[in-house]
A and B are shown apart, each in its own frame.
Chain A
Amino acid sequence: MTATAETKDRLRKVVVEALRLDRDPATVPDEGLRAALDIDSVAGLELLIWVENEFGIQIDDEDLSVLLVDSLNVLGDYVEERLAAADAVPSAGTPG
């Protein structure tokens, strides 16, 4: 699975906002985010909280990994998987 360009573009904007970066979101690279943006463990967790909020998903603690904050492709895939899983669950009040 490969994250869509739309998802990655939204993620780029979240990265810039969450990490308070003074740069054009379009310049956020797909890979090697930690080194390129100086993301330490504290900043990484904060970024993921903002991602949760942006997409309305929940990132389980068991899923936390360095890769999630180092690769837009991995993070984008994860986000889309969570969105798809949420869509597959009948909402409250849905018959059946």
Chain B
Amino acid sequence: MTRRRAVVLVTEGAAPELLDRWGPDVLPAFARLRAEGAWGTMRSELVPYEPPGLISAFTGHGPAEHGCFSYWDAHSPDYEPVVLDSCSPRRPLLWQRPELADLTSAVVNVFGTHPVQPLNGSCIAYPMRRTLHACHPRDLPVRLGKEGIHPAHDVNIWFEGQDREEFTGKVLGADRARADAALHLFDGGQGDPPDLLVLNLTAIDRLSHVYWQELEPGSPVAEEDQAVRRAYRQTDEVLGAFLDRADEHTEVLAFSEIGFGPLRAYVSVNDVLEAAGLLTKRADGRPDWTATEAFEAVQGTQGVNVNTTGRYKHGIVEPHRREDTLNRVREALLAHLNPYTGLPLFADVLRAEDVHSGPAADRAPDLILVPYDWRYLPLGDTHWSARVHRRLQSGWHRRESYWGGLGGSFGTGAGRTGDPLDVAPTVLRMLGRPPLDDLAGNPLGAAG
């Protein structure tokens, strides 16, 4: 049987409107993928965020199955959100499944891969803390370094209001290095070429968070110098390099689990809850847990938790009163006007049980907030919001992005709207592997 190979390129944060705005002159590889392959919209889950999207894509199971709703656990008993890692997902990533034990893989920069687990191939993991140990095999950074390739992890490149060119250069440089590493591994630079290559590029997302304002009318930055545009162009070059490697045995899937759009302001949900008498603040501005019924969950979950006894260290809401608290929180949030616009802040406030169903649904926040205007979003837990300088951002995720596939299994032309869950079964088909019965999604391809 002929060996099949698959490339999966995640272009995190790619916005369909910007792909259209810049078109084939600026982004020729995206245009080629669209013209020669299959193409469609990728629509994220209700809350567009990297961890649930990526883990859903590469486990083939939704958050209520794998349990990752953010970079952090939404329900830490002591209220300090704990960072999730490779031990957190309750479902295995595709390349860890026993049915695919013979598959060789190279996995580069995917959330949920650190601490790095041994695999049949190589991995440059995505650590959430400063570490020397984020690769398999362990000496991979030195081997790559001797080839002139020096990958860096995003956790070591942090935005805190520094010089624009310095930050942009480091973010683009990190993506370029991880792309060089991926190409080197794919081409067999460290042994046998892998069957599956997964590369997650993050420059589009990271620079869109910080420099989205440059895309808007009135910006003093010339279009060709826009940081976001530079990220798209570099990503396009990488996509082009992989499209050039496509042949009758090698297929390419590119997608983003999240789109992007403008952000005007974050609004503190805790302030709304305080005004409604549901939360009491300490002198330092954080909740007084002994006098708080409900509080904003960690960023990315876009939710509110009830301070329930038994679940939290200082819980004050007895289980039989939880329903009443949920109702009062919901009423308060739906009635609240956005102070920046005078319009509702939230279009809906949903109960987790109405959104998620599965063994890990209890890891979701108790209430999920649906913004009325996606340019005004919940701030999230104040500790982490401050740590990541969230209020300095001018762009945030959206639900709509894209997927595109090149190769015989995709066909040519427009395809249906995809879901991150569809990625895993698509990869199996690219590799010529039989479907796995437990996966929820379906392979992506051209309609008809």
> What residues of chain A have their CB less than 8 Å away from a CB belonging to chain B?
18, 41-42, 45-46, 48-50, 52-53, 58-59, 61, 64
- B157: chain A residues at CB < 8 Å are 42
Separation of A66 and B131 alpha carbons in the complex (Å): 13
B132-A48 in contact (CB<8A): yes
**Does B150 have its Cβ within 8 Å of any Cβ on chain A?**
yes
Q: How far is the CB of B103 from chain A (nearest CB, A)?
A: 27
Instruction: Give which listed residue, B132, B141, B145, B174, contacts A61 with CB less than 8 A.
Output: B132
B132-A45 in contact (CB<8A): yes
**Does B130 have its Cβ within 8 Å of any Cβ on chain A?**
yes
Besides the known contacts A42-B170, A64-B130, 11 further A-B residue pairs in the complex with CB atoms under 8 A apart: A41-B130, A42-B156, A42-B157, A42-B174, A45-B131, A46-B150, A49-B142, A58-B133, A59-B132, A61-B131, A64-B132
B side interface size, CB within 8 A: 15
**Does B129 have its Cβ within 8 Å of any Cβ on chain A?**
yes
- A53: chain B residues at CB < 8 Å are 139, 142
Instruction: Give which listed residue, B130, B131, B133, B145, contacts A46 with CB less than 8 A.
Output: B145
Q: How far is the CB of A37 from chain B (nearest CB, A)?
A: 15
Provide 15 A-B residue pairs closer than 8 Å at the C-beta atoms, listed in order of the A residue.
A41-B130, A42-B157, A42-B170, A42-B174, A45-B132, A46-B141, A46-B150, A49-B132, A49-B142, A53-B139, A58-B133, A61-B129, A61-B131, A61-B133, A64-B131
Q: How far is the CB of B130 from chain A (nearest CB, A)?
A: 6
The secondary structure that dominates the A interface is: helix
A41-B145 in contact (CB<8A): no
Separation of A45 and B129 alpha carbons in the complex (Å): 12
- B131: chain A residues at CB < 8 Å are 45, 61, 64
Instruction: Give which listed residue, A42, A45, A50, A64, contacts B142 with CB less than 8 A.
Output: A50
Separation of A89 and B138 alpha carbons in the complex (Å): 21
Separation of A42 and B271 alpha carbons in the complex (Å): 38
In the complex, what residue of chain A is closest to B142 when comparing beta carbons?
A53
- B139: chain A residues at CB < 8 Å are 53
Interface centre among B132, B152, B157 (most CB of A within 10 A): B132
A45-B145 in contact (CB<8A): no
A52-B145 in contact (CB<8A): no
